[in-house]
Amino acid sequence: MDKQTSPLRQRYTFMDFLYYTTLVVVPFFTAFYAISSQSMGWLVFYLILCMAAIAVIYRFYCSHCPHYTREGRTTQCMFFWGVPKFFKPRPGPLSLLDKALAFMAPALLIVFPLYWLFQQPGLLVIFVLSLITFLSTVRRNECRRCIYFDCPVNKTPEELKSHDHAA
């Protein structure tokens, strides 16, 4: 089996990006709606928090990924398409700081809107179910065939990892 027929995810398409973006916007739009129904000020704060968290993830997590470190001036992955590579590529494993920041940034985005979501149980259910759908879809369809073997959540079987290095 050559790299072109490898079961590993070597490249993403724009349709992959659209698919995962569509999945991830549901919990965020639910959070935006819950917060905005009570406070536009907190919504603006949350939007700024989202932008900051995305920048942290892009810098401390994505800059290690093979999809970021390959040729080209923009990223082409399932989460970022056409975004300039603002940061120096840093192939290899994440440091402890990288891991901590890459975990804390999305955790903060999930925890922050809970105050408003608990006040609107229907929106809380949509938020939780859509978040579970997004995370389980990524885990099921991507983590088991990811080419970033140093990722702390990579679930690529060892036989695929060794085959990819030999190819």
If one counts the domains in the chain, the total is 1
55, part of any domain? yes
60, part of any domain? yes
1, part of any domain? no
34, part of any domain? yes
pLDDT (tens digit, 9 = 90+) per residue, 77-114?
999 999 999 999 999 999 999 999 999 999 999 999 99
Residue 144 class from Cβ within 10 Å (0-12 exposed, 13-18 middle, 19+ buried)?
Answer: middle
2, part of any domain? no
pLDDT (tens digit, 9 = 90+) per residue, 36-72?
999 999 999 999 999 999 999 999 999 999 999 998 9
Q: How confident is the model at residue 5 (pLDDT cuts 50, 70, 90)?
A: low
The pTM of the whole model exceeds 0.75: yes
Query: Which candidate, 5, 9, 20, 19, places its Cα nearest to that of 146?
Result: 9
* Long-range Cβ contacts of 157-162 (<8 Å, 24+ apart): 160/6, 160/7, 160/8
Note down the domain range covering 33: 14-166
The answer to whether 132 and 30 have CB atoms below 8 angstroms apart is no
